[in-house]
């Protein structure tokens, strides 16, 4: 770090009159405290609509940019919280041309008194890819919003009459547990596998209307096996937990695509629950379709996790552990490999007899 970036400076930022200071500072000044926490070397003082920043010049410049971005978010009428400050700082310090205000004010769906929107650059790119392409793969760890954002785009497409129905499916593979015999009807038996899709759906659609929509076929939630032999036209189709498909199942599913339809496939290749020896269709398809036009692969990372901050740390820790185990496995394999022996004449430098 250069001396100029560490020298203490004082800058004053005048917040525009159309930005409510209460909205900018947050409830009980939680946004202000989040700014101070994000720039521990910067002193933030507010008087009226003037914010005074004092600290190292590099940090003050970044805090000034942050205030400008947050002012634009507040001016849009979107409520600001401490989480938005952390996301905005992450975007400003990342190697990207995207601006925090562009990401944090991008609305996908407003329903039941809340608005669903991307919270990271990776999520924004994922949502935009769904708009641009017919088949999109959202690949990434748990908590990155792969399924939730895809579901929001599906509901948006249905409401705007871009499609006539939504089809939600997942493979019925147990996540390391044996559910055993389940009593009840066929729907009762498969319900545990599909419950996460129902949960997301209830967040976005009036729960009272869901039975009616499902009875009419406007929304369908079914196991992957039910997709065989069908052609799905004018539909928004989501395949969740795709890491638990075989290569044959993935091919079967993708070839269900009909006219006027869109497919989003989501999964996490680090959480494969297939029985030993079965190759994940989500891993294979990345090699097969990588250069096919109108097919897009979006890879989300721990930086896109929007659950508790520890989830991102846990994902990174497991990735480091997996890399270590992989390295040890390769070294063990080399050490256990039998050495090649040479004949007596080869050992003395002579030619082996033919």
Which pLDDT does position 160 carry in this prediction?
95
- Assess if residue 314 is contained within a domain: no
Does residue 43 sit in the same domain as residue 132? no
Beta-sheet pairing, 50-56 with 8-14: antiparallel
pLDDT tens, per residue, the chain with 354 residues: 444 456 789 988 898 888 888 888 888 888 888 888 888 888 888 888 899 999 998 889 999 999 999 999 888 888 788 888 888 988 988 878 889 998 988 989 887 667 899 999 999 999 999 999 999 999 999 889 999 999 999 999 999 999 999 999 988 765 444 445 555 555 555 566 677 788 888 889 888 898 899 999 999 988 898 899 999 999 999 999 999 999 999 999 999 999 999 999 999 998 888 887 789 999 999 999 999 999 999 999 988 887 666 777 787 788 788 788 776 655 555 555 555 444 444 444 444 444
Kindly report the number of other CB atoms within 10 A of residue 38's CB atom. 20
CATH number for 95: 3.30.1370.10
Instruction: Record the pTM.
Output: 0.79
Structural domain range at position 286: 109-308
- 293's CB contacts (< 8 A; 6+ apart) are none
Per the CB < 8 A criterion, the answer to whether 135 and 296 are in contact is yes
Does residue 154 sit in the same domain as residue 97? no
CA separation for the pair 101, 103 (Å, rounded) = 5
CA separation for the pair 115, 204 (Å, rounded) = 10
Does residue 294 sit in the same domain as residue 192? yes
Does residue 115 sit in the same domain as residue 264? yes
Domain count across the chain: 2
Q: Cα–Cα–Cα angle for 98, 99, 102, nearest 5°? A: 95
- Count of positions (residues) in the chain: 354
Domain boundary among 61, 86, 104: 104
Does residue 235 sit in the same domain as residue 251? yes
Beta-sheet pairing, 235-239 with 262-267: parallel
Question: 192-198 long-range CB contacts below 8 Å, 24 or more apart?
Answer: 193/223, 194/168, 194/170, 194/221, 194/222, 194/223, 196/147, 196/170, 196/240, 197/147, 197/151, 197/168, 197/170, 197/221, 197/238, 197/240
Does residue 130 sit in the same domain as residue 208? yes
Domain boundary among 84, 104, 124: 104
């Amino acid at each position: 770090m250069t001396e100029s970036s560490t020298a203490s400076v004082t800058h004053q930022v005048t917040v525009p009159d159309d930005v409510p200071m209460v909205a900018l500072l947050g409830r009980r000044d939680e946004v202000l405290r989040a700014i101070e926490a994000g720039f521990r070397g910067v002193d933030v003082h507010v008087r009226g609509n003037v914010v005074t920043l004092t600290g190292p010049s590099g940090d003050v410049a970044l805090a000034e940019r942050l205030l400008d971005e947050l002012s634009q978010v507040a001016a849009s009428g979107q409520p600001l919280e401490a989480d938005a400050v952390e996301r905005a700082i992450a975007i400003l310090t990342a190697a990207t041309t995207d601006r925090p205000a562009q990401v944090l004010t991008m609305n996908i769906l407003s329903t039941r008194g809340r608005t669903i929107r991307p919270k990271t650059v990776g999520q924004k790119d994922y949502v935009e890819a769904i708009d641009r392409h017919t088949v999109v793969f959202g690949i990434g760890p748990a908590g990155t919003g792969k399924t939730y954002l895809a579901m929001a785009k599906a509901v948006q497409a249905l409401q705007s009459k871009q499609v006539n129905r939504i089809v939600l499916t997942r493979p019925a593979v147990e996540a390391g547990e044996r559910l055993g015999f389940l009593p009840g009807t066929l729907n009762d038996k498969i319900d545990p596998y599909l419950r996460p899709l129902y949960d997301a759906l209830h967040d976005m659609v009036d729960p009272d209307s869901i039975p009616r929509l499902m009875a009419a076929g406007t929304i369908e939630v079914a196991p992957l096996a039910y997709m065989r032999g069908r052609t799905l036209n004018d539909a928004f189709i989501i395949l969740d937990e795709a890491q638990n498909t075989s290569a044959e199942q993935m091919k079967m599913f993708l070839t269900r695509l009909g006219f006027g339809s869109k497919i989003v496939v989501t999964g996490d290749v680090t959480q494969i629950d297939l029985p030993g020896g079965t190759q994940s269709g989500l891993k294979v398809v990345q090699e097969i379709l990588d250069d096919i036009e109108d097919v897009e692969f979006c890879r989300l990372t721990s930086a896109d996790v929007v659950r508790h901050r520890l989830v991102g740390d846990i994902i990174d820790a497991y990735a480091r552990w997996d890399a270590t185990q992989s390295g040890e496995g390769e070294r063990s394999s080399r050490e256990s490999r039998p050495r090649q022996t040479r004949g007596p004449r080869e050992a003395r430098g002579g030619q082996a007899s033919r």
